[in-house]
Amino acid sequence: MLLFMGLTSQYSDSQDSVSYSILMEFKMPNTLVNLSELMTHRIAYPDQSFQNVILTADKARLDLDYLYNLLCVPSRYSAGLPPERFATIVENSICFSVYCEDKQIGFARVITDYSEFASLWDVFIDEPYRAKGLGKALLHYIFAHPELRGTFRWFLMTEDAHGLYQKFDFKTEIYNPYIMMKVTAV
């Protein structure tokens, strides 16, 4: 048996577009099987409505061009990140999105071992949709995910959203004010 994961991407400066193709296959002699069909351990997580938006953990709905251009192109944290590496980041994270009339307006992702540690990354709501409770709704949706409930330790980094995360019992680390942590009682 051979596990094969291939990522391909095309980036065109002239069109300012990025296209991704994520191929995951489980190879056996003379047989190709879609790996996602073999990954039955993942619990389907239903979409949730809040006000006029939909919160979802469905990666098939992600607008990768939008996310790449928002998170990687102008960001001082990810400047120069190649599109194929961004596709790998998305593939290896639990992703959560916010949609208004089928347009993606928010995103967050979690990296976890599903037991002891989870790290929250790239949380955002588009500027015109902020201050409407969507960030708080997104965090409630994330923390209610059946595979993440009961995770012992959560970690995140933020420059300006401390107040939001404190509502979810995150505490600022003394040694670095950008780092916040939450420990869940078991």
Q: What tens digit of pLDDT does each residue of 148-162 get?
A: 988 999 998 988 888
Domain boundaries, the chain: 2-40+47-183
Spatial separation of the C-alpha atoms in residues 111 and 121, rounded to whole Å: 8
Residue range 2-40+47-183, CATH number: 3.40.630.30
pTM to 2 decimal places: 0.73
pLDDT tens digits, 4-38: 333 333 333 333 333 333 333 333 344 444 434 43
Distance CA 150, CA 72 (A): 31
Pick 165 or 118 by higher pLDDT.
118
pLDDT at 184: 83
Residue type, 114: Y
Give the mean model confidence (pLDDT) for residues 163-180.
87
The percentage of residues in the chain with a pLDDT greater than 90, rounded to a whole number, is: 34
- Please give the structure tokens belonging to residue 170: 């995150």
Minimum mean pLDDT range among 12-21, 100-109, 124-133, 162-171: 12-21
Residue 100, number of CB atoms within 10 A of its CB: 16
| DSSP result, 89-121 | HHHTSEEEEEEETTEEEEEEEEEE-SSSEEEEE
Per-residue pLDDT reduced to its tens digit, 35-52: 344 333 456 788 888 989
Residue 94: what pLDDT? Answer: 94
* Strand pairing category for 31-34 and 17-28: antiparallel
Cα separations (Å) of 12 from 17, 18, 50, 82, 144? 6, 7, 36, 12, 39
d(CA 17, CA 40) in angstroms, rounded, equals 33
